[in-house]
Amino acid sequence: MNIFIQCVINGVALGAVYTIMALSYTILFGTLKIANFAQGDIYMIGMLLGFTFYVTASMPFVVALILAVIITAAVLLLIERAIYRPILKVSSMYLFIATIGMATFLRNAAQLVFGSESYSFPHLFGSDPIQITESLSIIPQNIVIIVVCVILVVALFLFMRKTKTGLAMSAVSMNPFAASLMGVNYSQITTITYTIAAAMAAIAGVFTGPLYNVSTTVGATLGLKALIAAVMGGFGNSAGAIVGGMILGLVEALGSTYISSAYKDAFAFIMLLIILFLRPQGILGRKSVSKV
């Protein structure tokens, strides 16, 4: 029983990471109908920048975090303006392929800059696990991640429901043309949406640095799995991203303990296939009518 509870604790922490990343996919897809395949590599850039500022340049953590978020957002905005926006005018499928190319490019270009070694990121509150009972423990960094996830989720929901910009984003997601007739600046909303998506990925990157080794390949699998979590939950649906992220985290933690740890990376994809068969619109997704 203790092993099971321990797995659930680890699964929730892992689920928190997936949730943040799934939300960063979802906000882009929900608002602009864009699936940025390179989001996992944006996360990687955030982590590397956080590592550079915090460890290499030994800045205070908060300063390193803010700098990493700002620069990561600037990178994604630059990519959006220079590459994504012109391609989107041609076709949304071309854009999806371009984001795949961008992911390959960023991952390998980063490796040329940072090398293929992996570095360890110091834990913020020490790496000694906190003992809950005799056989149950949790790493402080996992608590940090869960808290950060909760704060981000609450902040995002308040932003989307209570601020004018957030409401404008909802309007764009329902009907971009009608929204622009109502005086919503589409270009500005695009910029804000990309900024939020980049910031969430960078925050996830900096805070998960201590849990994973810092390397240029860290974003590839994580990004793919988070996208799967978002799709499973119902792509474009924020609540779905949370449900998908948490379920994926729990399944991976339980599956790697009880079934096989060698096949840990396969669970996400097997779940995706099952859900696509049974409920193609995702767990919380609504069936779209215009699709044929």
Partner 1 sequence: MKKVKTRTKIIIAIVLLLAIIIPVFTRENRYYMDVFIMLGIYVILGASMNLLIGYSGQISLGTAGFYGIGAYASVLLVMEANMPFLVGLIFAVVLCFLIGYVLGFPATKLNFIFLGLSTAGLNTIIQLIITNSEFTGGASGITGIPSVKLFGEPMTKLQYYYMTLIFVLIVLFICYRIVNSKTGRALMAIKGNPIAASAMGININRYKLLVFAIVSAMGGLAGVLYAFNIRYIQAEAFTTNMSFKILTMGIIGGMGDLGGGVLGSLVAGALPEFLRDLSKYQMTIYGLLIVLVLRFMPKGIVHPIQIGLDKLEQAITGALAKRKAAKAKKKEG
Which residues in this chain contact partner 1 in the complex, by CB under 8 A? 35, 37, 82-83, 86-87, 90-91, 93-98, 100-109, 112, 220-221, 224, 227-228, 231, 235, 262-263, 265-266, 268-270, 272-273, 276-277, 280, 290-292
Taking the least distance from each CB to partner 1, the nearer of 141 and 193 is 193
What would you report as the CA-atom Rg of the chain, rounded to the nearest whole angstrom? Answer: 19
Tell the smallest beta-carbon distance from residue 276 to partner 1 (Å): 4
Tell the smallest beta-carbon distance from residue 82 to partner 1 (Å): 8
- CA 75-216-69 angle, 5° bins: 35
Taking the least distance from each CB to partner 1, the nearer of 23 and 168 is 23
**Of 82, 85, 76, which Cα lies nearest the Cα of 25?**
76
Taking the least distance from each CB to partner 1, the nearer of 224 and 254 is 224
**5-16 as b/e: b if 16+ CB within 10 A:** ebbebbbbbbbb
Tell the smallest beta-carbon distance from residue 275 to partner 1 (Å): 9
DSSP H helices in the chain: 2-32, 39-51, 61-79, 85-90, 92-114, 140-162, 164-174, 176-181, 186-208, 218-234, 238-258, 264-278
Tell the smallest beta-carbon distance from residue 42 to partner 1 (Å): 14
Taking the least distance from each CB to partner 1, the nearer of 62 and 292 is 292
- Cα torsion 218, 18, 7, 131: sign: positive
Distance from C-alpha of 44 to C-alpha of 111, rounded to nearest angstrom? 11
Distance from C-alpha of 249 to C-alpha of 262, rounded to nearest angstrom? 16
One DSSP character per residue, 100-142 reads HHHHHHHHHHHHHHH-S--BPPPPTT-SSPEESSSS-EE-HHH
Distance from C-alpha of 267 to C-alpha of 246, rounded to nearest angstrom? 14
- Cα torsion 220, 227, 124, 55: sign: positive
Taking the least distance from each CB to partner 1, the nearer of 152 and 272 is 272
Taking the least distance from each CB to partner 1, the nearer of 121 and 235 is 235
141: its two tokens: 């960094």
Tell the smallest beta-carbon distance from residue 37 to partner 1 (Å): 8
Tell the smallest beta-carbon distance from residue 97 to partner 1 (Å): 6
Tell the smallest beta-carbon distance from residue 92 to partner 1 (Å): 9
Taking the least distance from each CB to partner 1, the nearer of 67 and 232 is 232
